[in-house]
Amino acid sequence: MYTQKVKYPVFQRRTDLSIQTRFLIAYIVCFQNKWGTVTRLSDKYNVSRTFIYDLRNYFLFMGENIFQLQQVIDKQTYKMDSLEAIFSLRFEGKSSIESISIIMKRFGLSLNSVGFISQAIKKMGDKIGNNLTVNNPSLIKVVFCCDEIFAKQTPILITVDPVSLTILNIELALNRKGSTWEQHWSNLVSQGYIPLYLAKDEGNGMDSAQKVVLSNTGVQSDTYHAVAHCLGLWNIRLEKAAYKAIEYEYECLRLWDNAKSQKTLIKRTEKYEKAIRETFQSIELYESFEHLYYCLLECFENFDLDGKLKDSEQTIAFFDNTLEAIKLLKHKEINEEIKSIENCKKNLFHFTKVAKEIIQELSQFVDNETLQPLCLAWQVRKNSVKLKNQSERKNALERKEQYILESVKERIGEKYEIIKNQVYEKLDQIVQSSAAVECINSILRPYLNTIKNQPTQEFLNLFMFYHNHRRFTAGKRKGKTPIELLTGEEQTEDWIKLLFQQTAS
């Protein structure tokens, strides 16, 4: 069988091809390649197809090296955009990690996997820590407003400056024992923060820790939890009981009116008369308790109706007499609450000492005719802020504050804003409760819901940084960040920019 040999062209290494020619071949293959182009170039320049493909690969490789710097910059910018989106959606958008991933995929952002997002938050939270970084912290004197909030059964210890609403420390703890609070406060003291006094509830852990770490620091017991909360609940219960007794009396009257026989009439008459007596007793108990309850709350107001600072000794004596009057109502459960109030009474009126010092300081540059109405206006504003649902009374108090301030403005003229702000800022240092922690709790709670109440310390670190450096959008602090109010120094950068600056390494 005859087999014809197939002759293939023999290619030699072409050293005579110039750089321009090689460049032209590679360019044509990369950008003008059509079917048959490689074959035609191979025939024209008497080179192999492999040689042409090698030229193309070298051309692309060198192009990548030439433009590599710009590609790296573009990738870094793209990465930064994705990271900013992650933290913005997590804290400003209150989105869960799964939701962040979906949103980022929708808008074509890279680094959008659930795993990466979770690790980025954990890593950044670990880097930022829970130490509040400010300039010259030893020069900052603040009130330590302290309390615990819970994520399921896990306690979160929080210390807040109630004036600026800055979170000084937030810590996921195994328990709320005294040793845990000792470490919590020792960390703040070691950073140089000076507590003016403590505002807290009557938790045993905080009590024991205060005696060890902050034994020379004054304590203001939480007046809300000690009095307003427990007795306020009883005020509501007694009111409901009185209305229920009235309804029962009306029902007895209806049944008495419908009696058919003399025997039934006599029986229902006794029942109706008993209902009348019980209704009278319920109403009398409710009205007497309500009056005494509001007398107790009035003891926590710093100024009288003329704006003069109340005498602390007289206020405490009136408070004691009111407690004794409540005892005379002979309500067993309420008297148990009175005992708990008496046990913490020694720290309930620390605010009167603070108020006296502040008024003495303000009196040095503000005359009494100006200071007293400003103090009254401040107190009216404070009372209006406390109201939640009574919109009509809240509006009335706000109008009253404006009326008082208008009279002050007419009196002092162009200095009004400066003096009013100075007085209000000083008076805001009079703290009677740990309500600032409750405020933080209301802000933190939506985030805890998105993570099924299973927070990590890294997440709490980031939440603390975000809260302290974000700008308030409403209220008396509108336009300011907590850290600005704490330090008095202007914050020029957005919180996300500051986050990346402080964690850059």
User: Residue 124: in which H helix or E strand, if any?
Assistant: helix 114-128
Cβ count within 10 A of residue 84? 16
Which residues sit opposite 303 in a β-bridge? 309
The 3-state secondary structure of 30-72 reads HHCCCCCHHHHHHHHHCCCHHHHHHHHHHHHHHHHHHCHHHHH
Terminal-residue alpha carbon distance, the chain: 78
Helix (H) / strand (E) element for 395: namely helix 391-412
| pLDDT of res. 77 | 53
Residue with tokens 């009185």: 242
- Whole-Å CA distances, 91 to 97, 350, 443: 11, 37, 11
- For the record, the structure tokens of 504 come out as 């850059």
Would you say 223 and 229 are in contact if contact means Cβ atoms under 8 Å apart? no
Which residues of the chain carry a pLDDT beneath 50? 1-8, 68-75
Strands 194-200 and 141-151: parallel
Where do runs of H (alpha helix) occur along 451-494?
457-469, 482-487
pLDDT digits (tens, 9 = 90+) for 357-410: 999 999 998 899 999 999 999 999 888 877 766 677 778 888 888 999 999 998
d(CA 244, CA 251): 11
For residue 197, give the 3-state DSSP assignment: strand
Give the pLDDT score at 361: 93
Domain range annotation of the chain: 19-66, 68-128, 137-222+433-503, 223-348, 350-432
Distance (Å, whole) CA 184 – CA 186:
6
Query: Is the whole-model pTM more than 0.85?
Result: no
pLDDT on residue 67: 52
User: Is the domain 137-222+433-503 a CATH 3.30.420.10 member?
Assistant: yes
| Cα torsion angle, 488, 489, 491, 497, sign | negative
pLDDT digits (tens, 9 = 90+) for 4-40: 444 445 555 667 778 888 888 887 887 777 778 888 8
Q: 436: how many CB neighbours lie within 10 A of its CB?
A: 24
pLDDT at 458: 93
